[in-house]
Amino acid sequence: MQIIIATGGSGGHIYPAMTLGKALEEKGHKVTFIGSLDRMEKDVIPQSGEAFIGLDVKTTRGGIIQKFKSLFSIYRAYHRCIKLLEGQDLVIGFGNYISVPVVLAAKKRGIKIVIHEQNSFVGRANRMLDQKADLIIASYAESLDQFKNPNKVLLGNPQSSVALKVKEDRSLISDLGLDPNKKTVLMFLGSLGSESVQKVILEYFDSLKDQDHQIIYATGDKHYDKAKGYDSDKIKIVKKVDGAKMMKACDLLVSRAGATTLAEIVALGTVSILIPSPYVPNNHQYHNAMALCDKKAALLLEEKDLNADRLKKMIEDTLKNDKLCKEIHDNARSLSNDHVLEDIVSRIEGLWKR
């Protein structure tokens, strides 16, 4: 097959799309990615060695003028995509506004269309494109009912398959100068970090004295300088970590509730305290978190309720409760489709052959 994958905007859209793209290439299919010229995909995808075409499409977020500019850019991109899709067999949209002109052009050309939804609350782009698709693949049962299209299936997030291959390696902890035999908390707030949550985390560090556990805090590039002074024999401040590998090595995760992180949590059975970002469209991180918390597969701490004392109590109570940790681990693992990538590829190939 000649396949186009439209993705962009954030790692939650981009990395699962790239994982699926590589799996399709391993089966002999030719994959080309389409994304925006001014978002992170323009660098991340070409750097991975994948074929990439950039479109000048503006975000829909903002005031009336920005929305007009966005609609005009989508209209122009749609007409460009009509030509770009010549000879293609299949288009896969991973949400985000960049997928709108690509999927609409595919529909115009009569090309098979697959839509993947990474979040439990369906994004605006995928809601708009719902009935255009020949197949919709969801990551959460909660999102299935939000699609009117009858051709929908719950398979999961391709990124889970990457996490499933990770082996436990406690040397990652000792490499940072910590004791691999002690309970270790990983704090990870995404590649960009969070100024509001970091403020509370640093207050939490100030309250610690002779604690039994140790902490690895990945700040992100922007927030590292303000936190690096807290580095000690029990607290390690780093800019970034290999998320899934470090999650597998540690005993407890404190994190945002992005789609990729949650896909890794269920694949690994990571015990987690989730602090959903309230600053994302449709409050989708909260809905993602609740999809796990309602099944007792994670713990929730909303940012509006976040303070140093509450964070400290939740961390210490969780680490001391082995029964609770096992319950959360088992419930998280029960939500994982351990064959998600194979299942998605199989469905896509089956659609192409129909």
User: Are 20 and 105 members of one domain?
Assistant: yes
Tell me the HSE value of 319 on the side-chain side, using a 13 A CA sphere: 21
User: Are 118 and 234 members of one domain?
Assistant: no
- CA pair distance 303, 138, nearest whole angstrom: 27
Among candidates 85, 87, 98, 90, which has minimal Cα distance to 129? 98
- How many distinct structural domains can be found in the chain? 2
Per-residue pLDDT of the chain (354 residues; tens, 9 = 90+): 999 999 998 888 999 999 999 999 999 999 999 999 988 999 999 999 999 999 988 776 677 877 778 788 888 999 999 999 999 999 999 988 899 999 999 999 999 999 999 999 999 999 999 999 999 999 999 999 999 999 999 999 999 999 999 999 999 999 999 999 999 999 998 777 889 999 999 999 999 988 999 999 999 889 999 999 999 999 999 999 998 999 999 999 999 999 999 999 999 999 999 999 998 878 999 999 999 999 999 999 999 999 999 999 999 999 999 999 999 999 999 999 999 999 999 999 999 876
User: Are 68 and 205 members of one domain?
Assistant: no
User: Are 169 and 247 members of one domain?
Assistant: yes
User: Are 210 and 284 members of one domain?
Assistant: yes
What pLDDT shows up at residue 194?
87
User: Are 22 and 168 members of one domain?
Assistant: no
Which amino acid does the sequence have at 107?
A: K
User: Are 346 and 309 members of one domain?
Assistant: no
Beta-ladder partners of 115: 93, 136
User: Are 10 and 72 members of one domain?
Assistant: yes
The CATH number of the domain holding residue 21 is: 3.40.50.2000
User: Are 180 and 326 members of one domain?
Assistant: yes
Does residue 2 sit in helix, strand or coil? strand
pTM: 0.90
Question: Where are any strands of DSSP class E within the chain?
Answer: 2-6, 30-36, 51-55, 90-93, 112-117, 135-138, 152-154, 184-188, 214-218, 235-238, 252-255, 272-274, 299-300
Is the distance from CB of 191 to CB of 259 less than 8 angstroms?
A: no
Is the distance from CB of 310 to CB of 301 less than 8 angstroms?
A: yes
Print the domain residue range for 198.
Answer: 164-334
User: Are 187 and 301 members of one domain?
Assistant: yes
Does residue 281 sit in helix, strand or coil? helix
**Residue 53 buriedness (CB in 10 A; 0-12 / 13-18 / 19+):** middle
User: Are 148 and 200 members of one domain?
Assistant: no
Long-range contacts of 76-82 (CB under 8 A, 24+ apart): 77/101, 77/102, 78/104, 78/105, 80/55, 81/34, 81/55, 81/105, 81/106, 82/108, 82/109
User: Are 50 and 178 members of one domain?
Assistant: no
Among candidates 318, 333, 203, which has minimal Cα distance to 252? 318
